[in-house]
Structure 1
């Protein structure tokens, strides 16, 4: 158990980074955006994992693998966001309840839904995250933090790709035949 009596840095403070040449005022805005993205990414991660665990049906294997990979990508991006926030002199979010409070996305409830509904919920969340990431890329660029803008832009490509895949899964063309009523 730690014997430290006080926190090294309060959670809602940003010091900036001398090494990165980003002052505290600009860093504060960027860290706030990164923590928002971190919160959204973890909410997305947990929803994707839920769907990965409960998917059933004829397309189980492909969807199970896709959802597992998408969750892993979200988890990896969350790590990159947290590390960047720390590099800018901030404290990354780290509590589950804080993620849901700060996220600009709304997770579905605890119930299990058919996979089409689950994927529609995922695509809605991806769309919200895409819009937020675009705004944050622009914010970082406007504040002169091109490295953060690059990090967000790279993830935006991955998020858009995952959303596009979900869009394909939701199309009506399938090899699975509906039961005939004859």
Structure 2
């Protein structure tokens, strides 16, 4: 625990960045949006990691490896979101409880489910994040912050690709038949 008695900057306070020249009122809106995206991303990240750890069955290896890649991409996107929030003069959100409190998505409970149910739960959060990112891209564009807009577009592209792949895992067509043994 820190022995510092006064914070340099409180969470929620935004200081105008002289270098970026984004007015404080606009920066506040952007930082709030970025922190919301950051929270949602980390909620999904932790849920994906859970599924990465508990996946079982005939397709274990492929799904385990893929979910590890998804988690790494989500973490990289979260880093971009946090660094942009800081560059705009804000304090990036941090901490598990804070993420869940500020996220517009809810994780599944702590129980372990079959992989199909788990992936369906992931796909639901992916969809919510996609909609939210699109809204925040429009916000950044409307506020004239084209850098944040571009960063969000890149993150959206990654999230959409992963949502599409998860959707494919959930299709009925499979080479694995019930009760098949080798």
Question: Shared fold (TM-score greater than 0.5)?
Answer: yes
**What TM-score do you get using the length of structure 2 for normalisation?**
0.96
Give TM-score, length-normalised by structure 1. Answer: 0.96
Structure 1 position 3, deviation (Å): 4.8
Mark the runs of 5 or more structure 1 residues left unpaired by the alignment.
none
Cα distance per residue 1:97-146 (max 9 Å; x no partner)? 11001101110000000000000000000000000000000000000000
In 1, Cα distance between the equivalents of 2:97 and 2:2? 23
Matched, 1:79 2:59: no
Q: Deviations over 1:59-100 (max 9, x none)?
A: 000000110000011111111111000000000001211100
Aligned residues: 180
Matches within 5 A, 1:149-160: 149-160=149-160
Change (3 A) 1:106 1:3: closer
Partner of 1:56 in structure 2? 56
Residue range with higher mean Cα deviation, 2-11 or 161-170: 2-11
- Alignment of structure 1 residues 6-17 onto 2, 5 Å: 6-17=6-17
SS in 2 for 1:56: coil
- Are 1:170 and 2:179 matched, yes or no? no
CA RMSD of aligned residues (A): 1.1
Work out whether 1:107 is the aligned partner of 2:79. no
Q: In structure 2, the residue corresponding to 1:94 is in which secondary structure?
A: coil
Matches within 5 A, 1:107-146: 107-146=107-146
Q: Which consecutive unaligned segments of at least 5 residues does structure 2 have?
A: none
Question: What is the alpha-carbon distance in structure 1 between the residues aligned to residue 12 and residue 163 of structure 2?
Answer: 32
Report the Cα offset of residue 2 of structure 1.
5.0
